[in-house]
Amino acid sequence: MSQSSIIHLEGVTKQFSRNASPAVDAVTLTLQQGDLLGLLGPSGCGKTTLLRLVAGFERRLSGTIEIAEKRVAGSGNWVPPERRDVGMVFQDYALFPHLSVAKNVAFGLRDTSKKFSNELRKRVKEALALVRLEGLEDRYPHELSGGQQQRVSLARALAPRPSLILLDEPLSNLDVQVRLRLRQELRDILKAAVTSAIFVTHDQEEALSISDYVAVMWKGQIEQFGTPEEIYTEPASRFVAEFVTQANFLPARRSGEVWETEVGDFHLNHGAANSDEAELMIRQEDLLLIPDDNASVVIRDCQFLG
């Protein structure tokens, strides 16, 4: 394990009942300090459970969890959530409606039971500046838009300056246009804070655009771990290829140095070396359509998507 890793999971398993399949099944991964990891997968794949295991909201059945090179679960160790040096951003924001923006942000700081000190005010001001909410300190959650509420939730998680930020579908409750704008802002904020983060999402574009690394999950396991470019261009399985973005699969047969398909021949330098039959994955952007009056292919429908 690298000395600069912020989190390391080794064989982490979680099973909610004895007869059920594991919600998280022997997951092993390492994330380096300063990187952003997206846990991507369909509903029920185990991504939120894995996040809750890291946070300490769930206890693992087996395996070990280390945060900032400190073991927080496994081998006889158990560190409660409040002592894991982790900030949490919930899907529903979880703001206190009776507290102002400033007091919501200050809630995670240790001396919130005391009168606002100069240091506390400074930390709150820094966190709000980081999420671009200066001037809204005295407002209450109901006076804010959904996007602003999400930023307050993020500021509250950042204020204690934790080693790791965990975000559970942070943009899912927002309108499409707000979500598109905030996903880039979210990455910028986390990078400006010089913090590491793990966020859960089922939105493929969101994962690819925000993350330094993506872990695609399916049936409690990690199907593939890699950069967004690797996940997209070199999927490790058909599930990854189909889930991350739409893909076309063509039956192919080897003929010398080419693979023959019903739409043409392809020269490939790698893959399926031990077989004369395979399926080739082709992304839509790899196709160039040229009109041919003599072609046997018929375009049946065309949809305008802007």
Supply the pLDDT for residue 112: 47
Residue 121 binned pLDDT confidence (cut-offs 50, 70, 90): confident
* pLDDT tens digit sequence for 21-38: 999 999 999 999 999 999
Global pTM value: 0.87
Supply the pLDDT for residue 272: 54
Supply the pLDDT for residue 49: 97
Task: Note whether residue 302 is domain-resident.
Answer: yes
Supply the pLDDT for residue 270: 61
Supply the pLDDT for residue 128: 94
Residue 252 binned pLDDT confidence (cut-offs 50, 70, 90): very high
Supply the pLDDT for residue 288: 83
Give the mean pLDDT of 206-234.
95
Task: Note whether residue 143 is domain-resident.
Answer: yes
Task: Note whether residue 221 is domain-resident.
Answer: yes
CATH number assigned to the domain comprising residue 191:
3.40.50.300
145 and 20: one domain?
Answer: yes
Give the mean pLDDT of 135-152.
94
Supply the pLDDT for residue 46: 96
Supply the pLDDT for residue 143: 96
Instruction: Give which of 154, 164, 130, 170 is closest to 32, Cα–Cα.
Output: 164
User: Domain boundary residue among 187, 214, 235?
Assistant: 235
Give the mean pLDDT of 164-181.
90
| Residue 117 in this model has a pLDDT that exceeds 90 | no
Task: Note whether residue 216 is domain-resident.
Answer: yes
Note down the domain range covering 150.
5-235
Higher pLDDT, 5 or 246: 5
296 and 264: one domain?
Answer: yes
* 97-106, 135-144, 234-243, 278-287: least confident range: 278-287
| Residue 292 in this model has a pLDDT that exceeds 50 | yes
In percent, how much of the chain has pLDDT > 70? 95
Supply the pLDDT for residue 247: 84
Q: What's the total number of domains in the chain?
A: 2
Q: What is the mean pLDDT of the chain?
A: 90
Higher pLDDT, 299 or 272: 299
User: Domain boundary residue among 209, 235, 261?
Assistant: 235
| Residue 186 in this model has a pLDDT that exceeds 70 | yes
65 and 27: one domain?
Answer: yes
Higher pLDDT, 295 or 116: 295
Task: Note whether residue 241 is domain-resident.
Answer: no
231 and 253: one domain?
Answer: no
* 55-59, 112-116, 225-229: least confident range: 112-116
Give the mean pLDDT of 283-287.
82
227 and 295: one domain?
Answer: no
* 64-78, 129-143, 239-253: least confident range: 239-253
Give the mean pLDDT of 39-51.
95
Task: Note whether residue 170 is domain-resident.
Answer: yes
